[in-house]
Amino acid sequence: MKIKVFIGTSLDGFIARSDGDIGWLERFADGDAVKAYEEFTSTVDAFVIGRGTFEKVLRFPSWPYEKHVFVLSTSLTKVPEKAWPEVTVLSMEPGALLHYLAGKGYSVIYVDGGKVIQEFLKADLIDEMIISRVPVLIGSGIPLFGHLDNDLHFRHVRTHTSSNGLVRSHYERIR
Amino acid sequence: MKIKVFIGTSLDGFIARSDGDIGWLERFADGDAVKAYEEFTSTVDAFVIGRGTFEKVLRFPSWPYEKHVFVLSTSLTKVPEKAWPEVTVLSMEPGALLHYLAGKGYSVIYVDGGKVIQEFLKADLIDEMIISRVPVLIGSGIPLFGHLDNDLHFRHVRTHTSSNGLVRSHYERIR
């Protein structure tokens, strides 16, 4: 099983402003970035997101996920009609969730959203990270990374730079 | 006048552990990284650091700076003999310091140390940043970036990747 992250951040490591705004980040989503995202998502079997990301995505004009989505939440009790039947809400720890997904035949999982990524990193369950940094300091907001109990070492696989200033680096966990 | 930063960070944006340890970072200081640092420092006239960096550097086996060093501190009253006469201690705000240095004929300044870099960024006085990211998450420590009153946009100039996984990106402030 491979657990992957593909995410954009500011130069100072934020994935959104405190109010959720990502306009400063979306400005850099040119054709090249969209193509990289689509190539990446074509390799995954399922998405795992948290309630915060789920509620944000429900307000998007169209549903962005083309594979089944598992929402980790202890408070959600039902799936809004708009998201049905592509969404399953589960209340599980990261390790238990992966065990569950493996049992269902999933093998390549995309983990998205700040809080969920931090939980998976803390449990050392992330195998690959593709991080796209845009050349802006926003000074505060929702951080990509959080506290860890141990250092996590990665292998740098490659870095791609775009003419708009986005720097996208691909890392694999060294175990 | 040009004010520049050249600094290494973890993938999660820390320049040292909370106790000041940078062993995890120094592991990536290969010949290539040392050469890039020397090429960079050959272009600067003077260094500006804070008391924390100064006290750390005083414990190094040899004095690392080859140009005059200005230490920003409100508490230091004298310069240790080891650092004399290459060091001047000043108690000034970033803007006043730059005015003072311009009057002394300095035109390219290297600003180093987490707190001082954050103060200069907050005052929007940094023109160039060269950031070397090593492929390790350390989870906590002394952050490179801090709170800002406004977004700061930069132009990505170039990114160099090393075989040991270090990714060094060069940015210029867009005003």
Q: CA geometry: angle at B109 spanning B103 and B111, to 5°? A: 125
On the question of pLDDT at A161 being above 80, the answer is yes
For residue B153, the one-letter residue type is H
| Chain B, nearest residue to A149 by Cα | B139
Task: Please provide the average confidence, as pLDDT, over all residues in chain B.
Answer: 94
| Chain B, nearest residue to A24 by Cα | B151
Res B81: pLDDT: 74
For residue B34, the one-letter residue type is V
Q: Count how many Cα atoms sit within 13 Å of the Cα of residue B69 in the half-sphere of its side chain.
A: 23
Element (H, E) at A58: helix A51-58
How many C-beta neighbours within 10 Å does residue B59 have?
7
Res B159: pLDDT: 98
Res B34: pLDDT: 93
**pTM for the predicted model, two decimal places:** 0.95
CA distance A172 to chain B (A): 9
Res B59: pLDDT: 84
pLDDT category at B22 given cuts 50, 70, 90 is very high
Please name which of A2, A5, A30, A28 lies closest in space to residue A169, comparing C-alpha atoms. A5
Res B154: pLDDT: 98
Q: CA geometry: angle at A73 spanning A71 and A79, to 5°? A: 55
Whether B156 sits inside 8 A of A144 (CB atoms) is: no
pLDDT category at B166 given cuts 50, 70, 90 is very high
Q: Judge whether A4 and A44 are in contact, CB under 8 Å.
A: yes
Whether B136 sits inside 8 A of A156 (CB atoms) is: no
Whether A135 sits inside 8 A of B159 (CB atoms) is: no
Q: What percent of chain B has pLDDT over 70?
A: 100
Q: Beta partners for B168?
A: B132, B160
Res B63: pLDDT: 82
Is B40 strand, coil or helix? helix
On the question of pLDDT at B28 being above 80, the answer is yes
How many C-beta neighbours within 10 Å does residue A92 have?
16
Dihedral of the alpha carbons of A24, A30, A32, A33, in degrees to the nearest 10? 30
Instruction: Name the residue ranges covered by the structural domains of chain B.
Output: 2-173
CATH of domain A2-173: 3.40.430.10
Res A28: pLDDT: 97
What does the pLDDT look like over A11-45, one tens digit per residue? 999 999 999 899 999 999 999 999 999 999 999 99
Out of B24, B150, B153, the one facing A151 most closely (by C-beta) is: B24
Alpha-carbon gap, residue B91 to B80, rounded angstroms: 17
Element (H, E) at A5: strand A2-10
Q: Beta partners for B69?
A: B47, B87
Q: Does A126 touch chain B (CB under 8 A)?
A: no
Out of A133, A137, A158, the one facing B151 most closely (by C-beta) is: A137
pLDDT category at A172 given cuts 50, 70, 90 is very high
Contacts of B155 in chain A (CB under 8 A): 135, 165
DSSP B75: S
Q: Does A23 touch chain B (CB under 8 A)?
A: no
| Chain A, nearest residue to B165 by Cα | A156
Res A153: pLDDT: 98
Please tell me whether the interface predicted TM-score (ipTM) of this complex is above 0.85: yes
What does the pLDDT look like over A101-135, one tens digit per residue? 999 999 999 999 999 999 999 999 999 999 999 99
Q: Does B145 touch chain A (CB under 8 A)?
A: yes
Taking residues B133-140, what's their average pLDDT?
A: 98
Res A97: pLDDT: 96
Res B78: pLDDT: 78
Q: CA geometry: angle at A156 spanning A152 and A162, to 5°? A: 125
Rounded to 5 degrees, φ, ψ at A62 are: -140, 155
Burial class (CB in 10 A: 0-12, 13-18, 19+), B83: middle
What does the pLDDT look like over B50-73, one tens digit per residue? 998 898 888 888 888 889 999 999
Res A85: pLDDT: 74
Out of B12, B121, B139, the one facing A13 most closely (by C-beta) is: B12
The owner of tokens 């004929």 is B105
Torsion A9-A15-A16-A20 (CA) sign: positive
Q: Count how many Cα atoms sit within 13 Å of the Cα of residue A128 in the half-sphere of its side chain.
A: 17
Contacts of A64 (CB under 8 A, 6+ apart): A57
